[in-house]
Every structure is written in C-alpha cells, then in structure tokens.
Amino acid sequence: SPIEVSQASDTEVRVTFLQRNDSAVTYDPRLTTDLEQPFTNWTIFTPSTSSDQTSLPRSNYTRVEVLLDAASYDRTFVKVNAAEVQ
C-alpha cells in the first residue's frame, strides 16, 4: 500500500502505511536524508499502531504510523520494503 504523509501537529509529520497481520510478509521500514546511501545504511524505524483503523481493505490489515519531528526531518525519504516469506 502507498505511504501517506500528513501533518500531525505544528512540529510533527505523520507517515502512515498498511501492514498485513500475518507472518507471510516481513516489513523493513527505514528513513534517510541522503539518497546516495545504500538502503541497508538507512535508519530503521519502528511504527506504532495508528488510532485510525477505518477503511482498511480487509480485516487482516492494520494501519501503522511513525511521527517524525518536522524540523529534524526536512527532506527525509521513507521507504518500506515488504517481502513475502517463502
């Protein structure tokens, strides 16, 4: 699912995305301010469950989010690698 970015407050940015609730998929969420760095060097972040669980595509999905300090994360790039477990 696409990542959604919104303003959470005057000082925070909210990054939201969907995760499946099963062990068939692994997620690797990371962020960086330097796109020249390889993905493995990006900073790992741990999302929390969003309070907004409306309009999910199916019951086996959860909306998760991370709040970032807007001043510290100017020009921050977020990427979430999702992979099916074989």
Cα diameter, the chain: 43
28: which 2 tokens?
């690797």
Q: What is the pTM of this model?
A: 0.78
From first to last of its 86 residues, what are the pLDDT tens digits of the chain?
A: 577 888 888 888 888 999 999 888 999 999 888 999 999 999 998 999 999 999 998 889 999 999 888 777 667 888 888 899 88
Pairing mode, if any, of strands 43-44 and 25-32?
Answer: antiparallel
